[in-house]
Each structure stands twice: as structure tokens, then as C-alpha cells.
Amino acid sequence: MCELCFMWMTAAAFCPPLCCQDTTPDEMLSAVMAAVLRDVGLSPNKLGDVCVGNVLQPGAGALMARVAHFLSGFPDAVPVYTVNRQCSSGLQALFNIAGAIRTGSIDMGLACGVESMSLRSIGSPGDVSSRLMDNEKARDCIIPMGITSENVAERFGVSREKQDAFAFNSQQKASRAQKMGLFDQEIVPVTTKFVDDEGKERVVTVTRDDGIRPGTTLAGLSKLRPAFKPDGSTTAGNSSQVSDGAAAVLVGRRSAVEACGLPVLGVLRGSAVVGVPPDVMGIGPAYAIPAALELAGELHRTMKSSETRKLGIPMEKVNPNGGAIALGHPLGCTGARQVVTLLNELKRRGKRAYGVVSMCIGTGMGAAAVFEYPGP
């Protein structure tokens, strides 16, 4: 069996809504696609395929991805396609490239994710049968995400205080990591234009995530109103923010990686996608993580997973540099961005180590992947 190695990864800065809301996803995607290959000095001709995760663009962004492909300077001979598995689309892109390598179709590929939630909202479910309303599970697929959050809180006893504490910790962790420069290596500066409040066009270069709020306090979070139900517990402060961003991960067969003289940052050891009830889709990681660990073989005996309440890992090991509440969740991008952040963090620890990437998925699923950093 081939060993899948992750050579180099990068993510565009998650664009702040005020100054980058007009930046198109193809521009963000192009920035990270070009940067990954530039960083390692690899010709795009070495890529057997490119897969891009996207949720909100028409047709899962197939046209957008090909445009970004050419804006990045890739030749037309290198193919590209898109995939939409909602919140895990960026991770699914990685699974797809990994699968193509395993089957021998390609030796090396680029897995990406991109989303502009400023330019395109979740909104309409699209063209669906009128019979949807007659089937309970089908009907639950269109429950707003905020309501599914309320369902999870009610059914599993997650209090407002616990949610606010988790949000506070996310902001504190991300703020500390940003001040220490931990994100600098994985962020590609994006130069873009925007129209300010006075109607003037300005040019700005985004070099850091602007969603992080270092001044967040528990007292401030406790004063926010519920966002989805009058008597609910989900607020703007303990939810993931609206964000834009892109990320890219270079993946290859070990023999191909070694032949190109590229550094190895990680190895994919196991992955899984599972289904859960759509009205409580937030529980997806609690089921996907054990499944991924089981597929990772002997690792499941030595690793604990990262769903804090059901699977019992210490909070300090969950999102050590902050999560979506502080960093945002650009739907199609997040899965790829998490891999970027995880493997860079494992590398900083300087020894052989393992980590898990996971997320819940709209309509009731969860995805997870287990990675090994092989050590220096």
C-alpha cells in the first residue's frame, strides 16, 4: 500500500468582512494554489489532479476553480474539479486526492478549499422535491444550522455557560497564537480592493485573520442575546463567524515526494465520514473520530479523540490555537485549513506526534482524519 505524504501547505488569510467582502473566491484560491508550489519550487506539471472543496458557488464552483487554476499560472493540461460535502468539503477534497493516489491514478495532487460567505449566503436549498416536507428526515435537512445547535444544546445538556466558556477559550487561544506568530508561516498575504463606507475604492493587503477578538470576556459574552430562539443559548459570540478564505495542501505518494526532494510534513493514517440525524448534525465528530481512529489501526489504542464531552480529551488539546469561533468557518475552506494548521502545530512540537481533524456536516454527517507528523 502506498504511503500518502503531505509536503507543504498554506492558507490565505481569512478576509475581514469590512475590507474584503468583495474579494472573489477565485482570487483567494489562486493565491494559495500558486503559493504552495512556489514555496517548494514545484512545477504544476507534476500534479496529476487538483480537487477544490466549495459549498456556495453554483455547481460547487466548477467554473470558479478552473478560473483560479489559470490565474495561478497552471497549464491547461493539469485537470481540476470540485466537490461539495458541505462543511467538510475542503477535507473531502483531500480524501479524493488521497484516494486517487492510493488507486494509482496519480502520484501527486493538490487538495484545496475555498469559500466567500460575504458574496454568497447559504440561503435557498435549491431545486428540491415538494415531497421533502412529507419526509421527516428530508425535512430536517433544511433546519437552519443555528437551530440544530440549539437542538444539540437541549438534548445533550450543553448550557449557555459552557458554550460561552468554550467561545472565550477559543478567542484566547487564537489571540495568543496570533501574537506569537504561529499562523504567519501558513498565511499567504492577499491584496484586494474594496469600497469603504465613503464609497471610495481602496487597496489593502490582508496578512492576518481579522476575526480574532482578543478583548473578548466572559462577562461580555453573557450579555449577548440568543441569535436563533428567544429562549435559546446560541449567540453571535459563541457561534462561528461569517468568514471568507482559501487553503491548499500538496499531497503525494512517498516515492514521488522523495523523488522530488520535498519535505514531508505529515502522513494520512486514517479517515472516515459518517451519518448522524440531521436535526443534531453537530454531534457528527463524536462518531466520525472513533471511526477514523479505528481505520488508523493501532493508533486508536494510544490516541484519544477530540470530541470533548463524549470522547474525553483534555480541553487544552482541543483546538490549541483556537477554532472556528475565533478563526471563522468559510464552509468549503475549513477542512483544508484545519489540516494546514494541525500539521504546522505538530511540526512546532518537534517530535513524532499524531493529530485529528474533524467537523460536523450540514444535513447530518461528520468527517474526521488522523494524521501523523513523522518527526524531524
Average pLDDT over residues 170-192: 93
Question: What does the pLDDT look like over 242-268, one tens digit per residue?
Answer: 889 999 999 999 999 989 999 889 999
DSSP 21: T
Which sign does the torsion angle of CA 99, 100, 105, 110 carry? negative
Asked whether 107 and 252 are in contact (CB, 8 A), the reply is yes
Q: pLDDT value at position 163?
A: 96
Active site residues: 87, 329, 360
Q: pLDDT value at position 129?
A: 85
- Please give the model's pTM, rounded to 2 decimal places: 0.91
Cα(22)–Cα(19) distance, integer angstroms: 8
What domains appear along the chain, each with residue ranges and CATH number? 5-120+170-216+237-373 (3.40.47.10)
Beta bridge partners of 9: 249
DSSP 125-173: --S--GGGGGSHHHHHTTS-HHHHHHHHHHHHT--HHHHHHHHHHHHHH
**Which SS3 state, helix, strand or coil, does residue 318 take?**
coil
Asked whether 293 and 34 are in contact (CB, 8 A), the reply is no
- Run of H or E residues at 70: helix 62-71
Average pLDDT over residues 140-146: 89
Determine whether 39 is exposed, middle or buried from the number of CB atoms within 10 Å of its CB (0-12, 13-18, 19+): middle
C-alpha cell at 263: 519535505
